[in-house]
Amino acid sequence: MTPTPTGAQQYTTTERPAIPQQWQRDPATRGPRYDYEHYSRLAGPMTEAPVDRPYRVKYRSLLSDEPHRIRAALLLGAAPVLSAILLAWLMQPGHWTRRAGAPAWMTVCDTVMLVSIGLIELFRLINVSSNAHATLVARDPIPVVPEVGTKVAFLTTFVPGKEPLAMVGATLEAATRLRHRGVLHIWLLDEGDDPAVRELCDRLGVRHFSRKGVERWNQSKGAFRAKTKHGNYNAWLDAHGDDYEFFASVDTDHIPLANFLDRMLGYFRDPDTAFVVGPQVYGNYENAVTKAAESQQFLFHALIQRAGNAYGAPMFVGTNNAVRISALKSIGGLVDSITEDMATGLELHRHRNPRTGRKWRSVYTPDVLAVGEGPASWTDFFTQQLRWSRGTYETVLKQFWKAPFTLSPGRFLNYGLMLVYYPMTAFNWLLGALSCALFLGLGASGIQINSEVWMMLYSDAAALQIGLYIWNRRHNVSPHEPEGSSGAAGMVMSALSAPIYARSLLDTLLRRKSNFVVTPKGDSASPDRLLSTFRIHIFWTLVFGGSLAASFFNRHTHVAMRTWATLALIITTAPIVVWSLSLIRAKSRSDGR
């Protein structure tokens, strides 16, 4: 069995995956290369499918390899238990604020504060319980050799003006080196029907498809919505889907490794497997924003998706995947959503395979089988987070309410824990801001507690929560992050995103229109501007800064509220400070030439 590595490695074999030149680092000048080939086999060695019985996907628990199981069990149990104790202690009726003869508006403010504090701590308990649950049930699939002779289409898309032609050329060139013992056609789904793109396809021997000019494939909404990824894919499915059994796909910026199909297609021997997905890693890792953005996704790709394997229901991720075409067409294609992958995966998991009568299943492999490009600017990162969170809210409102009637309890729990992350983070931020304004500005107080006891319980609960996060770093699937790294950049990036999630939630509740936005890549990356990029953070800086200033003026000095306001102020100003320092460093380098 291949051990799960946790850090960057140098190449030890002569076989190297095809990675664009700008993503390769010269060992003599810029440090070690990343061992993508080794990380493409994290799930272990390939096995043969059984010949005496029908194949079903087999799994191996992550905890089965843990040498210190008692220590792990104590940590998994202690983190949520202490958070529950803190919540119960805080919300004791004896701690509630009661004011004799207080005006009605102050009583209302106290009640709002009490409810806000209770919800914030409840959400934190759910979050730490979710991480503990994922750690307990996470498992990896045991790879199996793919069936010979299957018909496969490999797809990627191109959006003029958003993705450089050289980038799609590198992706297509790598795709032509994919290994498959059967029919394999490489397709480019070109939104612009550009002659230069056609010429590129002809030169590489790649098939070209465009829906441009076809009214039926360019609608204002639905499966063929214009200017959307799902509309582009659904148009191709309508035109050519029946010619293949499976399609594999990557985003335009993702370079597939040669063993992409070898490591994904075997799981389709199980007739109920609808799709297979892998982790997302960013090859432009030297960029500071990109580096932190990849680290932010650690829990999702290293733990949450693996927990989905326990229920046969990891989330569909559009960056790199393989899909059974008959399963996708049975639900009408990719779902019309700004996060079409999540919405489509949930829809598949709600439906049955008509051939077997069983619910469709999915598989998440930790194998790094494609290397992509992440957001390289704060503008593009915030836009990405805004779209992901908005798509989650829409999925909750439009689809998830049906889930209790169509998902098994395990799948319902799994999806519920995944989907509540964005709304809980957003509500925590909004409730924290409301509590600061009410207490520091107006003197409201939901509870009356001993500050020293609160600090002791809170710091212990927070330490265990962070300890669980750091302990799980051993399951990291990123080939970029150094071995033994704490993942602090990812935790910070998640905190910096909270104001974005809050804005997205308010947009959803107010029914403001949202559009699909392709994250610009390469030289098309969006520039950062103070008043446009950081406008949301500037707004919240004024809110928390004003609350803190009011606390000194009104002498409302409770340590807990001032601590929270100060931390929130640091969160709102941090990206602006980091961006400003990067400008200063860039100017210094320019002046020094």
Whether the per-residue pLDDT at 80 is higher than 70: the answer is yes
Whether the per-residue pLDDT at 467 is higher than 70: the answer is yes
| pLDDT single digits (tens) 36-46 | 888 999 999 99
d(CA 562, CA 228): 45
Q: What pLDDT does 549 receive?
A: 87
Average pLDDT for the chain: 87
Write the DSSP assignment of 221-252 as a string of letters: SSTTBTTSHHHHHHHHHHHHGGG-SEEEEE-T
Give phi and psi for 174, each to the nearest 5.
-65, -35
Q: What pLDDT does 524 receive?
A: 62
> Which of 19-28, 65-74, 298-307 has maximum average pLDDT?
298-307
d(CA 151, CA 182): 6
The answer to whether residue 357 sits within a structural domain is no
> Please, what sign has the CA dihedral across residues 505, 562, 567, 424?
negative
* Single pTM value for the model: 0.89
Q: What pLDDT does 422 receive?
A: 95
DSSP-based three-state secondary structure for 367: coil
Q: What is the DSSP letter of 202?
A: H
Q: What pLDDT does 15 receive?
A: 34
Distances (CA, A) of 7 to 38, 44, 270, 303: 11, 17, 33, 16
The answer to whether residue 437 sits within a structural domain is no
Whether the per-residue pLDDT at 14 is higher than 60: the answer is no
Q: Of the given ranges (249-263, 432-446, 509-523), which has the lowest mean pLDDT?
A: 509-523
Domain extent, residue 240, equals: 151-244
Nearest-5° Cα angle at 468, 465 to 474: 150
Nearest to 294 by CA among 384, 175, 168, 161: 384
Q: Of the given ranges (128-137, 436-445, 469-478), which has the lowest mean pLDDT?
A: 436-445
Write the DSSP assignment of 45-66 as a string of letters: S-BPPPSSS-----EEEGGGG-
Write the DSSP assignment of 166-198 as a string of letters: HHHHHHHHHHTT---SSEEEEEEEESS--HHHH
Whether the per-residue pLDDT at 82 is higher than 70: the answer is yes
Q: Which residue has the higher pLDDT, 18 or 586?
A: 586
Whether the per-residue pLDDT at 589 is higher than 80: the answer is no
Q: Are 75 and 467 in contact (CB under 8 A)?
A: yes
Whether the per-residue pLDDT at 141 is higher than 90: the answer is yes
The answer to whether residue 162 sits within a structural domain is yes
Q: Which residues contact 68 (CB under 8 A, 6 or more apart)?
A: none
Q: What is the DSSP letter of 256?
A: E
Q: What is the DSSP letter of 34?
A: P
| pLDDT interval class at 518 (50, 70, 90) | low
Q: How many separate domains does the chain show? A: 1
Q: What pLDDT does 321 receive?
A: 97
Q: What pLDDT does 436 receive?
A: 87
Give phi and psi for 313, each to the nearest 5.
-145, 50
Whether the per-residue pLDDT at 20 is higher than 80: the answer is no
| pLDDT interval class at 317 (50, 70, 90) | very high
Write the DSSP assignment of 492-536 as a string of letters: HHHHHHHHHHHHHHHHHHTT------PPP-GGGPPPP-HHHHTHH
> Please, what sign has the CA dihedral across residues 12, 17, 18, 21?
negative
Q: Which residues contact 352 (CB under 8 A, 6 or more apart)?
A: 358, 359, 360
Residue 173 belongs to domain with CATH number: 3.90.550.10
Whether the per-residue pLDDT at 74 is higher than 90: the answer is no
| pLDDT single digits (tens) 220-229 | 999 999 999 9
Q: Are 271 and 469 in contact (CB under 8 A)?
A: no
Give the CA radius of gyration of the chain: 25
Whether the per-residue pLDDT at 560 is higher than 80: the answer is no
| pLDDT single digits (tens) 247-290 | 999 999 999 999 999 999 999 999 999 999 999 999 888 888 99
The answer to whether residue 432 sits within a structural domain is no
> Which of 200-204, 456-460, 557-561 has maximum average pLDDT?
200-204
d(CA 537, CA 543): 10
The answer to whether residue 216 sits within a structural domain is yes
Q: What pLDDT does 234 receive?
A: 97
DSSP-based three-state secondary structure for 350: helix
The answer to whether residue 205 sits within a structural domain is yes
The answer to whether residue 7 sits within a structural domain is no
d(CA 99, CA 108): 11
- What are the tokens at 358? 């069983």
The answer to whether residue 191 sits within a structural domain is yes
| pLDDT interval class at 11 (50, 70, 90) | very low
Mean pLDDT within 542-557: 84
| pLDDT interval class at 31 (50, 70, 90) | very low
DSSP-based three-state secondary structure for 147: coil
| pLDDT interval class at 26 (50, 70, 90) | very low
